[in-house]
Amino acid sequence: MMALSTRGRLAQQMVAVLCVGLSMWQPSAALAQRSREADAPAQRRLGSVPPDVVREVTAVWNAPTTRRVRGDFALAPRDTVRGDLAVLNGRVRLAGVVTGQVVVLNGDLLLIDGARIERALSIIGGAFESPERPHIGGEIRVWSAAYRYRDAGDSLAAELDVRDRWSRWVRDDAPPSGGAVRSNLLLTTAHRYNRVEGLPIYFGPRLASRAGNTQVRAELVGIFRTGDQLAWQQENLGHRVLFELRQGNRAGVAVGGRLFDEVDAVEQWQLTDNEIGLSTLLFSRDYRDYWQRHGGHGYVSLFAGSRAELRASYGEERWRSRRARNVPSLINNDAPWRVNPLADEGVLHLFTLSGTFDTRNSAQDPRTGWYLRGDYERGDGTLVAGPFVERATRPSAPRGGATTYARALFDLRRYNRLGPNASLNVRAVVGGWLSGDALPAQRRFSVSGIDALPGFDFRAPRRDADVGTCASENEFAYAARGRPARCDRMALLQAEWKGDFRLRPFGTDENLGDRRWVLSRVQVDGAWVIFANTGRGWMVGPRGGDALFSPKGSVPPLHSWRTDLGGGLDFGTFGVYVAQAVSERGTSPNVYLRLGRRF
């Protein structure tokens, strides 16, 4: 969400906390349970299981490498199950070793002292009993709600609740199982309310089919942007057309193509669409810049499940600028919107190579593993209009002529479990110009904002050269251009130390014998966080009197980097933090909110 200085913004923070809490609350959530108290009514979660968890455990059962058991199961102290173990409709007693994860569906699990599960434990429709310090390498999740399913040959098909069926009708991208064909009419929002589009609404037919390991997906979607008035005009209209053929189940290849007329955002690696949208709607603060992309491309993708993918694409696009519009907000509605910076305009041919590698134990609450996301882009074409951008690397064609450039961006994260309830996580984000002419305005970088350096205000006025955005002109001129990102390159390092906590503000009722005392069952689960961030951006060029420049093969000295420290509370669906800049004097701490975890 947005960064709010403690100076006069505490009231807005309270409103935001209430809104986030009400909008993100769910009737049930994963319970990390590590004691014999798991069988007590006060410790078992009620309500439905989140749909993504239902799909996850179903996929574990259906995996060909999983050892599947129907009914009761016992593992002797000297026995070992190599790989994943899934048990359906039975009691489980484990005294040995499971080298993978354990899934128990509609049954209870008793873990004997000395037993070991090397990955995660998930129980749906049952209870968990264990020694005080169980040897479990991953996350522990326990729900009381029953697992609903139907048999589909040797596999299981989960039956999701009514709310999830509606969600799948309007949003699901996954093709059906078996040989069925499913078509639906998509009607959803883009979940990114912003000052350029308002709220984009997607509507149109979609089709998904599967025959064995071959999957086909197609869609023809129109886009309507609410903007500052509901008018059927060109500025408010767009489209997205997709066709994809995918071969393989857990691993394989996909070939497809896209046609599009969409508004894209600069620097999407910072913050999420939900955070941007909520900040814009509530406080008239939009932390992204935007431009128009119209064209198409084809792609080939190699994938291994949802954890690894390598994709290559090539296409032609026409780029145009977009203007900021007077979209409504709930608070500070009379405040003017920040100008949306001008984009470089023209027609470019783009080759993109992107990849993802993910070994985390959980995408929602990672405790161990690696995550890597990388993108390489090479563009060549003709730019016919746009803002003046310094050509920092070498003389090149004047604005309005041919241009060729290459850039890359890498996001590497490592999650380390220090114990049952603590972890140390680190992140490095690096990106920038690689070769050719200078980067177009919308492909440049900055290190500014609450996702990068929250101790520093977002693109705040500077008296000198700004190493966060690489702006060098006076404040009036920079603000008039919308405070754009201007760096050729950037680097950001982040580290956080986290530990779980559980609060019972009304105590316990274990000895009262009267379950009407429901207040005693109210508990708050979360994690405390202590973090540090350091980073900066720079232009590529000879060093001189300007601190913004650094030669092509070097990195600016560390004493010129910005650094902040902070801490806060992470409740999963949202977090509350305080950050203080330590590399500069005279700054005040910033209090801010995040929807979800920092990284």
- The residues, any chain, with a CB within 8 Å of residue 309's CB and separated by 6 or more, are 301, 302, 303, 355, 356
pLDDT value at residue 507: 57
Burial of 180 (0-12, 13-18, 19+ CB in 10 A): exposed
Q: Which of the two residues, 373 and 35, has the higher pLDDT score?
A: 373
Distance in angstroms (rounded) separating the CA atoms of residues 349 and 173: 28
Cα separations in angstroms, 173 against 167, 206, 242, 258, 304: 11, 9, 12, 15, 17
Q: Is the pLDDT of residue 97 over 50?
A: yes
Confidence of residue 366 (pLDDT cuts 50, 70, 90): confident
The pLDDT tens digits of the residues spanning 115-168 come to: 999 999 999 988 898 877 788 988 888 888 889 888 876 788 887 654 444 344
Q: Is the pLDDT of residue 11 over 50?
A: no
DSSP 55: H
Asked if 494 and 530 count as a contact pair (C-beta separation under 8 A), the reply is: no
Looking at residues 391-416, what average pLDDT do you find? 74
DSSP secondary structure, 77-122, as one string: TT-EE-S-EEEESS-EEE-SEESS-EEEESS-EEEPTT-EESS-EE
Looking at residues 466-478, what average pLDDT do you find? 86
Q: Is the pLDDT of residue 35 over 60?
A: no
Q: Which long-range contacts (CB under 8 A, 24 or more apart) does 409-412 make?
A: 409/269, 409/374, 409/375, 410/372, 410/373, 410/374, 410/375, 411/269, 411/371, 411/372, 411/373, 411/374, 412/370, 412/371, 412/372
Confidence of residue 34 (pLDDT cuts 50, 70, 90): very low
Q: Which residue has the tokens 């700054």?
A: 587
Beta strands in 399-488 (DSSP E): 402-419, 422-436
Looking at residues 394-414, what average pLDDT do you find? 78
Structure tokens at 469: 């955005």
Q: Is the pLDDT of residue 1 over 70?
A: no
- Kind of pairing between the strands at 121-124 and 102-105: parallel
Sign of CA dihedral 157, 158, 163, 164: negative
Distance in angstroms (rounded) separating the CA atoms of residues 478 and 49: 49
pLDDT value at residue 307: 84
Based on C-alpha coordinates, what's the Rg of the chain? 26
- Mean pLDDT of the residues in the chain: 83
Structure tokens at 130: 């264990």
Confidence of residue 547 (pLDDT cuts 50, 70, 90): confident
Q: Is the pLDDT of residue 400 over 70?
A: no
Confidence of residue 41 (pLDDT cuts 50, 70, 90): very low
Q: How far is CA 19 from the centre of its chain?
A: 20
The total number of residues shown for the chain amounts to 599
Distance in angstroms (rounded) separating the CA atoms of residues 13 and 32: 29
Asked if 108 and 129 count as a contact pair (C-beta separation under 8 A), the reply is: yes
Top mean-pLDDT range of 144-153, 170-179, 494-503, 544-553: 494-503
412-423 CB burial, b ≥16 within 10 A, e <16: ebbbebeeeeeb
Top mean-pLDDT range of 25-29, 274-278, 373-377: 373-377
Distance in angstroms (rounded) separating the CA atoms of residues 579 and 567: 7
Distance in angstroms (rounded) separating the CA atoms of residues 47 and 536: 46
pLDDT value at residue 593: 93
Looking at residues 57-66, what average pLDDT do you find? 90
Q: What percentage of the chain reaches a pLDDT higher than 70?
A: 81
Q: Which of the two residues, 199 and 367, has the higher pLDDT score?
A: 199
Distance in angstroms (rounded) separating the CA atoms of residues 562 and 181: 54
pTM (two decimals): 0.71
Looking at residues 23-36, what average pLDDT do you find? 35
Residue 589's closest CA among 553, 557, 565? 565
Confidence of residue 362 (pLDDT cuts 50, 70, 90): confident
Q: Is the pLDDT of residue 31 over 90?
A: no
Structure tokens at 217: 């997906």
